[in-house]
């Protein structure tokens, strides 16, 4: 598999998980797969960004 061209970061901190960030990650991955982009775009779930 080639390196991804783009990365989408969705916060995986406790507060964001409580606000359904895991569902957002799942939806993004499903849509990327539907559009055959799963090899071009990688969805990453880092820890808290600290912006809240």
pLDDT at 49: 81
pLDDT at 1: 46
pLDDT at 2: 56
For residue 46, give Cα distances in angstroms to 7, 12, 14, 50. 12, 6, 11, 11
pLDDT at 5: 92
| pTM value surpassing 0.85 | no
Give, for all 52 residues of the chain, the pLDDT tens digit: 457 799 999 999 999 999 999 999 999 999 999 999 999 999 999 999 887 7
């Amino acid at each position: 598999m080639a390196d991804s061209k783009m990365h989408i970061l969705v916060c995986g901190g406790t507060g964001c998980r409580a606000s359904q960030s895991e569902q957002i990650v799942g939806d993004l991955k499903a849509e990327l797969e539907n559009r055959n982009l799963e090899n071009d775009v990688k969805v990453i779930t880092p820890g808290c960004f600290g912006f809240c």
